[in-house]
């Protein structure tokens, strides 16, 4: 499947998490008239005296039976922040997958075009003995190269913003950030900062559960504070960045394919 299509599918989960955060924000325990409870019990087909718990805000009402009440944590300050952290992780993972998918899809074109700078990266690809022996079944040299690339660029991670520069080098996009700025109209320095902060925060959440190294500036749960606006700005920056990157890399690949032909 096309890397951009996969990205959009993966990224949509991050957008849904942000929507859920906005929808459920400000939930509080609520009491409703007895007639309302009776209607709910009738709708569920349960006994009229069944205890029903309510939580609501100005956008939604949650109804639960007594055995499965709305967790108190969700109604505390910062209780929904896990949705923001999860959205951030999903967005960064979608970004990460997109870039390595672009390498796997296009690296063969770069090799066939004999681009020297990229060759330095691609010449250093390594295989285990088992992987090497499995390559013997492919008679087509191009297919062998493609399989080697697949082995080496599976499950890679973006450690920081410099990892993206490395991928741009592999794909021979010589003026990557300048091209990104021209394509999307957003200052490259701003996009670079926002995406870099997204990656850094994902790393902190993954490796430290979002607990800062010192205890200064923590929320009531001992975690680094996070807000919807901060998260949404960086998540949307990732989407803008990927859309522009897809266009820039595709243009570069078309130029290489013309040279090959």
Write down the pLDDT at residue 124: 61
Q: What is the mean pLDDT of residues 201-209?
A: 91
> What is the per-residue pLDDT for 138?
67
Domain edges within the chain = 3-24+80-118+157-260, 28-75
Please state, for a pLDDT cut of 70, what percent of the chain lies above it: 80
- Of the pLDDT bands very low, low, confident and very high (cuts 50, 70, 90), residue 180 is very high
146-166 residue pLDDT tens: 666 666 665 566 778 888 888
Question: Which pLDDT score, from 0 to 100, does residue 132 have?
Answer: 62
| pLDDT score recorded for residue 70 | 72
Single out the residue of 65, 159, 114, 95 nearest to residue 256, CA to CA: 114
Task: Count Cα neighbours of 173 within 13 Å in the Cβ-side half-sphere.
Answer: 26
| DSSP-based three-state secondary structure for 53 | strand
Against a cut of 0.85, is the pTM above it?
Answer: no
* Region 10-38 average pLDDT: 90
What DSSP character marks residue 59? S
Write out pLDDT tens, residues 233-258.
999 999 999 999 999 999 999 988 88
Residue 78 region, left (φ>0) first, then alpha (ψ -120 to 50), else beta? left
Q: What is the pLDDT of residue 87?
A: 97
DSSP states of 172-195 as a string?
A: T-TTHHHHHHHHH-S-HHHHHHHH
The predicted pLDDT at position 212 comes to 84
Contact 91, 111 (CB under 8 A): no
Position 185 pLDDT exceeds 60: yes
**pLDDT tens, position by position, 35-63:** 888 888 888 888 877 788 888 888 888 88
More confident residue, 120 or 18: 18
Instruction: Say how far apart CA 196 and CA 190 lie, in whole Å.
Output: 10
Query: According to DSSP H, which parts of the chain are helical?
Result: 3-24, 34-44, 81-112, 116-123, 129-135, 141-152, 161-170, 176-184, 188-208, 228-260
Q: Could you report the per-residue pLDDT of 118-135, keeping only the tens digit for each?
A: 556 665 666 566 666 666
Tokens 């990460």 locate to 96
Q: Is 69 helix (H, G, I), strand (E, B) or coil?
A: coil
């Amino acid at each position: 499947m096309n890397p951009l299509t996969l990205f959009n599918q993966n990224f949509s989960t991050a957008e849904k998490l942000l929507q859920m955060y906005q929808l459920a924000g400000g939930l509080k325990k609520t009491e409703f008239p007895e007639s309302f409870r009776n209607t709910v019990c009738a709708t569920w087909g349960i006994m009229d005296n069944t205890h029903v718990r309510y939580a609501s805000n100005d956008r939604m009402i949650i109804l639960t039976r007594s055995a499965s009440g709305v967790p108190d944590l969700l109604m505390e300050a910062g209780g929904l922040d896990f949705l923001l952290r999860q959205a951030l992780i999903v967005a960064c993972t979608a970004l990460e997958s997109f870039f390595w998918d672009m390498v796997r899809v296009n690296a063969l074109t770069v090799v066939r075009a004999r681009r020297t700078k990229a060759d330095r990266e691609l010449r250093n690809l390594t295989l285990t003995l088992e992987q090497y022996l499995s390559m013997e079944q492919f008679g087509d040299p191009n297919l062998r190269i493609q399989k080697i690339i697949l082995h080496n660029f599976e499950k890679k991670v973006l450690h920081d913003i410099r990892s993206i520069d490395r991928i741009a080098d592999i794909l021979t996009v010589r003026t990557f950030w300048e091209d990104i700025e021209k394509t999307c109209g957003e200052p490259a320095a701003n996009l670079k900062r926002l995406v870099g902060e997204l990656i850094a925060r994902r790393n902190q959440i993954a490796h430290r559960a979002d607990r800062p190294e010192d205890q200064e500036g923590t929320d009531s749960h001992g975690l680094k504070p996070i807000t919807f606006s901060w998260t949404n700005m960086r998540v949307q920056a990732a989407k803008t960045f990927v859309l522009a990157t897809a266009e820039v890399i595709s243009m570069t690949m078309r130029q290489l394919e013309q040279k090959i032909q």
